[in-house]
Structure 1
């Protein structure tokens, strides 16, 4: 079973447990006419739900409106190319929940982002504007507040000592006007203060720096085990050794052009001064 399949199945199981809140497994099983063991296996990701299972589960828990969300999660289980159109059928929150599972099972995470501040370091206001823009682009349901809360909860992992985040961003990400100037200024303050976290190494590739490869689309590496690459039309979940090794080389190359510490703070301060003048 592939890594991306299992982590998505675990996320689905967690969502099923969430919907069951207020009743026991035995009570739900009785309503559905199932063995209690089936309810347990679905929630613990030991059995893959069928569409019929999910269409029965949601109404039985009093959450019929969640049916489409559950079906959207199921559709994304078995593919490495996860189209945004399919993933966002029920909005951004389910996507965030699936990602959280992958973060939680990883000890060393590396990211490259050239277009905007990475999600793990976004302020709620900044994230709100990002999700709103993407919902408009993808014409998806607007569950912006739920998505923001899920992203902010995931950021608690930054304060757990058993994880290390190596994040590299292009300086252009600091200047992307994806939100009003006052929101961007506050976001840059957040970045500057995050540099002091024990679990985080934040590097910035300056404008004009010599780079070994062209700065391109963003991606995350999870324990050199899985790569998640963001395209406009889809996310790519890659687990084969050759692909993981390729993206690790890309990350290492871009990291070689990054600056850290005081120099990185200087670049952040320069971007912040620009937006402070506009606010």
Structure 2
């Protein structure tokens, strides 16, 4: 869980505690009014559990201040808008999230991205994407709608060929060697990357393993124009929109871009990874 998300949850818990004490109730008293275990009250107040909308509505009524329910729900909505759990987003499978990605891409002129462990979704072949979705569905134990998700991902890639768009991506060299699919599928994926180098809408930089770095690539992220940064964690997807955070990620991207190679040098690194498959 991200530190910012946890901080927001702790702040919400502190507000719940404040409302309780203002009502002259102790933890046991509010638990009895709500019909909850005392432990749930403690977890909510200490930021160890995320409340539901129903929890907040009930809390406001229990402390005799139903009018504060709107404030509490607003705090929760802000948390969930910025930090979207994968469990909720993928409850019905991956296709819906891919459709959302299509919409965000359509609304964006320039996307900058960094991937350190896999090929960016916009550049994936159908076979490579299929293995990504299947593995993720198994890991997260969600509905497996792989074929629908693959079709949506490939449909999103139509934007790569639209004049006026720009897709500036950095890929850590190690991602070229990460084997998350059979050898022939991986080979096809690297061939696909080679074909994208030189496309006028794509700027593909490979960060060599031996590169001198001003900053290490801590995790992948995507920047949509100058309005949105999306970061994936194991449990959540963060949608970050404040200008200070966006500027921070832009600086991280620019510093890493200084260490990347492009054009023929990038093709050489991709080709070397491709060649290693023939000798594996």
Which of 239, 242, 245 is residue 240 of structure 1 equivalent to? 242
Q: 1:269 aligns with which of 253, 256, 271?
A: 271
Who is 2:192 aligned against? Answer: 190
Q: Does 1:174 align with 2:176?
A: yes
1:136 to 2:167 alignment: no
Match of 1:88 in 2: 90
Contact 2:110-2:166 within 8 A present in 1 as well: yes
Aligned-pair Cα RMSD in Å: 1.5
Offset, 1:76: 11
Specify the alignment match of 2:206 in structure 1: 204
Question: Which structure 1 residue ranges, 5 or more long, are not aligned?
Answer: 1-74
The answer to whether the 8 Å contact 1:128/1:144 transfers is: yes
Q: CA deviation at 1:276?
A: 2.6
State the distance in 1 between where 2:83 and 2:149 align: 21
The 5-angstrom pairing of residues 48-197 of structure 1 reads 79-197=81-199
When Rg is computed on C-alpha atoms for both structures, the one with the higher figure is 2
SS in 2 for 1:168: strand
Distance in structure 2 (CA, Å) of the matches to 1:111 and 1:86: 24
What are the superposed Cα offsets for residues 162-187 of structure 1, whole Å, 9 maximum, x if unpaired? 21010100001100000011101110
Question: C-alpha deviations, 1:18-45, integer Å up to 9, x for none?
Answer: xxxxxxxxxxxxxxxxxxxxxxxxxxxx
Q: In structure 1, how many angstroms separate the alpha carbons of the residues matched to 2:81 and 2:227?
A: 17
Aligned runs of 1:25-44 on 2, under 5 Å?
Answer: none
- Once the two structures are superposed, residues 206-263 of structure 1 have per-residue CA deviations (whole angstroms, 9 ceiling, x without a partner) of 0111111111211110111100001111110000001100100010011110000000
8 Å Cα contact 2:170-2:205 kept in structure 1: yes
Give the Cα separation in 2 of the matches to 1:162 and 1:213.
Answer: 31
Q: How far apart, in 1, do the equivalents of 2:158 and 2:152 lie?
A: 11
3-state SS, counterpart of residue 110 of structure 1: strand
The separation in 2 between residues aligned to 1:243 and 1:94, in whole angstroms, is 27
| Whole-angstrom distance in 2 between the partners of 1:208 and 1:149 | 37
TM-score scaled by structure 2? 0.71
Which whole-Å deviations, capped at 9, do the CAs of 1:46-72 have from their partners, x for residues lacking one?
xxxxxxxxxxxxxxxxxxxxxxxxxxx
Q: Aligned residues, how many?
A: 204
What SS does the corresponding residue of 1:274 show, helix, strand or coil?
Answer: helix
> Contact (CA 8 Å) 1:76, 1:86: kept in 2 or not?
no
Quote how far apart the aligned CAs of 1:196 are. 2.1
Q: TM-score, normalised by structure 1?
A: 0.71
For 1:203 and 1:275, the matched residues in 2 are separated by 21
Report SS of the residue matched to 1:89: coil
Q: Which residue of 2 aligns with 1:35?
A: none
**For the Cα contact (< 8 Å) 1:76–1:87, is it kept in 2?**
no
CA spacing shift, 1:77–1:198, aligned 2, 3 Å = farther
